[in-house]
Structure 1
Amino acid sequence: MDPDVISGAMCMAEGGTGGPGGESLLFLTDEQLRKGIEAMFFAYRGFTADPDRILAAHGYGRAHHRAVHFINRAPGTTVNNLLNILGVTKQSLNRVLRALIEDGLVESRVGAQDKRQRNLFLTETGAALERELSDAQRVRMRAAYRSAGPEAVAGFRTVLEAMMDTDLHHHFKALKEAGS
């Protein structure tokens, strides 16, 4: 294999600009890609471990976490919008929302313009749980980002965004533009 291609691939994998002359060469073998896939599986397991323990103490799972997270990010979001973001069935989301509402974590209000619409808001208790979950993930992310350095963080974010389906990237971009 051409050493310049290998050098460019290694440099790109480390957050650099490419091989000789600054060109953006990126060639990864199936084995290197497999290692990246495995790293993502294990990283996700670590990323969810702390929230999973917190959720289990409350009798909740990851679906509850995702719902609480996105309701927090977009207070007043509709059930339909949440369905689109989470990509779950209406039945599955209804089960999750019913538990969160019954337990006093989420409030469902009738829409101001459309009475058929339901707008979702976290209660104080829901906001406290969301903070606890997010704080646990921020600790892990902050430590990993500090360890990796700014160039790796920027590269990691670029890779994550490039992996998103177009419709999901649209939701991501909307949340990013919302600012908070």
Structure 2
Amino acid sequence: MSDTGAGSGGSGESLLFLTDEQLRKGIEAMFFAYRGFTADPDRILQKHGYGRAHHRAVHFIHRTPGTTVNNLLSVLGVTKQSLNRVLRTLIEDGLVESRVGQRDKRERHLYLTLAGEALEQALSDAQRARMRAAYRTAGPQAVSGFRQVLEAMMDPEMRRHFAATRDGDQ
């Protein structure tokens, strides 16, 4: 290990001087890891006729019960039309409930139903199992470093959303 400080990795190369080839390998690793990370949920979603947009909506509604449609739009970074299609399907299928706001009747607050909670549980169980296995293989220092890298890659607005959901502020 080099003496360039924490986070320099076991290869002895400083993270400050990554080559284009090392970066390319990291990019490809992200592509392949994402493929693995989404493969198990994709199989579950396919049985229901859903896609990844449905998964993201279910995930964030579960994380912040009562979230508004506008907040979900901001978190997901999708168009209103796109989100409305996804929500319409989830509501019609009995997975999401939309309630009119108490203070502002124009707001719609979103909640998972029992069926929505069950789907979310199946999806997140699959991803947690994969993450748990990867973290165990990589070790505790890698877990912390991986999260730091992911947070550093986020746009500032997404980092704020992430921090708020992580801290339970949303």
The TM-score range, normalised by the shorter chain, is over 0.9
Could you say which residue in structure 2 is the equivalent of 1:3? none
TM normalised by structure 2 equals 0.93
1:45 pairs, out of 35, 47, 50, with 35
Could you say which residue in structure 1 is the equivalent of 2:72? 82
Could you say which residue in structure 1 is the equivalent of 2:45? 55
TM normalised by structure 1 equals 0.88
Could you say which residue in structure 2 is the equivalent of 1:12? 7
Q: Secondary structure at the match of 1:134?
A: helix
Q: Which amino acid in 1 is paired with 2:43?
A: R
Q: Which amino acid in 2 is paired with 1:150?
A: P
C-alpha deviations, 1:74-108, integer Å up to 9, x for none?
00000000000000000000000000000000000
Does the 8 Å CA contact 1:15/1:155 hold for their aligned counterparts? no
Shift of 1:27: 1.2
- 1:124-163 correspondence to structure 2 within 5 Å: 124-163=114-153
Aligned-residue RMSD, C-alpha: 2.2
Give the structure with higher Rg (CA): 1
What runs of 5+ residues in structure 1 fail to find an aligned partner? 1-5
Q: Which amino acid in 2 is paired with 1:12?
A: G
Does the 8 Å CA contact 1:52/1:61 hold for their aligned counterparts? yes
Could you say which residue in structure 1 is the equivalent of 2:86? 96
Does the 8 Å CA contact 2:8/2:15 hold for their aligned counterparts? no
Does the 8 Å CA contact 1:12/1:26 hold for their aligned counterparts? no
Whole-angstrom CA distance in 2 between matches of 1:8 and 1:34:
24
Whole-angstrom CA distance in 1 between matches of 2:151 and 2:141:
16
What runs of 5+ residues in structure 2 fail to find an aligned partner? none
List structure 1 runs of 4+ shifted beyond 2 angstroms. 6-9, 11-16
